[in-house]
Amino acid sequence: MLNYETILSRDAFLLSVELRLFWIIALAYGLAFILYAFHIVTRAIPAGKAARSIMWAAAFLHVLLIIFRTFEGGRAPFQTLYESLSWFACMTALVYLFVSRDLKKVYLPGIFVSGVTMSVSLYALLSRTPAIDPLSPPLKSWWFEWHVIFAFFSYAVFVVGAAIEASHLIVKPFLKRGYDRCLGFTPGMMDKFHKKAHRLVAFGYPLLTFTIISGAAWANEAWGKYWSWDPKETWSLATWTVFTIYLHCMTLERFKGLPASVINLAGFAFMLMTFLGVNWLAKLLGIPSLHVYAV
């Protein structure tokens, strides 16, 4: 049997290796962000290419990091906010890289995605505890684990959807003014990008629906009440409602253009509020808010 000394120093060593790796990944996302910015300013294609390659390397390392954390903790690494932020950043990078296979010379969405992955990773590293603490009993539930996995997966998909939607909205006025190309976009690509954003939301929406239903099922198992209108629950319902509106708009000729795009971006803003800024509005208005689970 191992003695405490050995166990503690082994665990501390593993944690410090993990933290180093996570820092390298966060900095790689940061470097990709800078290169994307450089590409946008100078239009230099090699900068865009290099940024995408760095994103690939960072995402690969990030997958390794998540596997490492699984072994380190001896459990699925989706249970604390530090862990779910890391999973979210990794999924966002992977979804973007998957989607960007056929974006060819378009690098603009990359700046949003790398900005998000960098900020989220830094937020986890700087503000959340990396400790592998035992979970409080209510959180030990099959429902909770899948709830978190799908929640952050859907958020990742929505981030990429919003990045693509925002990029196409940014270049649209330039192309309308008669430019035949802007940051790799051509006028013929506008519709394709709008549809791509739609496909991404369509992919994320059932995941978000599952998140809400599984959250309610878990609350019902743990507390006997499937809904209690706490800010986190309410924000997630608001986000789901906004994406429902978006999907409905996309089926109507009169709303499927700019109004739908704006609603998609609003959905993204709501999603950010759901998992980062739940109490932020309340604080801004000086209103004492309820305590919410930090996961």
- DSSP for 28-87 reads HHHHHHHHHHHHHHH--HHHHHHHHHHHHHHHHHHHHHHHHHHHHHTS-S-SSHHHHHHH
Total number of residues that touch ligand HEM (CB under 6 A): 6
Binding string, 127-166, against another protein, x = CB under 8 A? x-xxx-xx-xxx-xx-x-----------------------
By beta-carbon proximity to another protein, the closer residue of 47 and 162 is 162
H/E stretch holding 25 reads helix 4-42
Binding string, 5-44, against another protein, x = CB under 8 A? --xxx-xx--xx--xx--x---------------------
DSSP SS3 for 182: strand
DSSP SS3 for 185: strand
CB atoms within 10 A of CB 96: 27
- Binding partner selected for residue 216 from another protein, ligand HEM, none, CB under the kind-specific 5 to 8 Å limit: another protein
Q: Which two tokens stand for residue 13?
A: 């060593």
Residues 187-216 close enough to bind another protein by CB under 8 A: 199, 202-203, 205-206, 209-210, 213, 216
Q: With contact defined as beta carbons under 8 Å apart, do 72 and 15 qualify?
A: yes
By beta-carbon proximity to another protein, the closer residue of 11 and 57 is 11
| CA-based nearest residue to 271, from 179, 176, 165, 190 | 165
Does 244 help bind ligand HEM (rule: CB under 6 A)?
A: yes
Name the amino acid, one letter, at 94. L
Does 253 help bind another protein (rule: CB under 8 A)?
A: yes
Smallest gap from residue 251 Cβ to ligand HEM (A):
4
By beta-carbon proximity to another protein, the closer residue of 49 and 195 is 195
Does 248 help bind ligand HEM (rule: CB under 6 A)?
A: yes
Binding site for ligand HEM (CB under 6 A): 202, 205, 244, 247-248, 251
